[in-house]
Structure 1
Amino acid sequence: MKTSLHVATALALSAGLLASSGAMALDAQPAHAPVGNIVLVHGAWVDGSGWKPVYDILTKDGYHVSIVQEPLSSLDADVAATERVLDLQNGPTILVGHSYGGSVITEAGVHPNVVGLVYVAAHAPNVGEDEGALGKNMPSYTSKQTGAVEKTKDGYTYLNPAVFPKDFAADLPLKKAAYESHAQILTAAQVFSTPLTAAAWTTKPSWGIVAADDKIISPDLERWYYARAHSHTTVIAGASHSVYESRPQQVAAVIEDAAKHAQQ
């Protein structure tokens, strides 16, 4: 009987010690681990392949990275394409958008997997706003040029290949910029004038990159967007609209900062 009592007492003490050390271990762990999933969204006239330099850095650093290929046929279709990829993520995700992709992530970013947004030389309208109207308030260098943006008879736009290298990609090698000018995805004009129905930056933390030599979107407009959203803002001097390709290390660093701090 005494032996049984001693055994029971020892077991109780051991259980108590284990519970106590388990609680201490939990207390020692950070409240939120860094986000491991990143989804990249391209802008108008280009496709997701331009994200490869950033993708390579992020995957090397251990992140799970997915790239959305939008049809660029309507804002709704592009948001739906982004939501499909977000549905495939296995947990908290940082959603990144370049240029018009900023409008896409602003709407798609209300997805429950998204815990933070990164705008890369991007638009960030509010509910009821569209980037076309906002762009007229602070016009870009390109928008002031006659014939820079062309339109097909069925309402799809593209950037004139003659101006693409210096307007879209001035800090890329000329051969690469020229290739991209002839590999454009024609983009429905309506995507630029469709009002947003959601604005994820109003409820989720955001980071913004200003491309200081951007000719497609006015850098002043980028700054205004990010100030309104209270985004953590980084200005990259000398960067063109193709900043995600020309300065991948700096862009990846901002994305990783978002992944580390979005849930704090």
Structure 2
Amino acid sequence: MADKTTALVTGANKGIGYEIAAGLGARGYRVGVGGRDAGRREEAVARLRGSGVDAFGVPLDVIDDESVAGAARLVEEQEGRLDVLVNNAGITGGMDQTPTTVDLTAVRVALETNVLGVIRVTNALLPLLRRSASPRVVNVSSTVGSLTRQSDPERDSGPIAVAYSPSKTMLNAVTVQYAKELADTNVLINLACPGFVATDFNGFRGHRTPAQGAATPIRLATLPDDGPSGGFFDDDGAIPW
């Protein structure tokens, strides 16, 4: 498979992650469908293959060291390298997230998945990404991670969420640090906001479709070699920090 461009998308069995996988597959990429649940993962692989996508399943729980290491071994054994990593898997952390009453477990859980999970997966796959001629990493974030927008009293920046929103702010900061470390390499790493997408993540309250939400992650996953790194983008362009 070395002649094909290979991508791995975490949390790709449904929603935005699935559409990212489908979109990359439609562009000719061979796509690894990362997911914890074996049944849903393989169902997603079958659906993608049925639509003509060259897809394969990757058992992957982003909060489990052994699972992530196993995923890296699988990709290395099957593909030999990785060209694109999309860190899409994420959670809200549950409710209530009012700062004065929150259960600290909710904060820990959100950080474990949304931040530490991204670091864990990225570090495990980076050796394979370095074998690519044009490696790309996309971290799926949210505009609620923008401190500029969160602190603007004139803007509706969503509900008070002391676990989820700060986890995305930290993910943004972590991504900038990666971009600084990797500045002298060919690895481009960026943040994508899919917008308010109707998925089970938010009780299907969003006004955008998963396919619409996948557009910016796909664009960043397929950047040319002179593309940006360390940026934060949605469909309209750069998002203020």
Bigger Rg, structure 1 or 2:
1
Structure with the bigger RCO (C-alpha within 8 Å, sep 6+) is 1
Question: Normalised by the size of structure 2, how large is the TM-score?
Answer: 0.44
Question: Normalised by the size of structure 1, how large is the TM-score?
Answer: 0.41
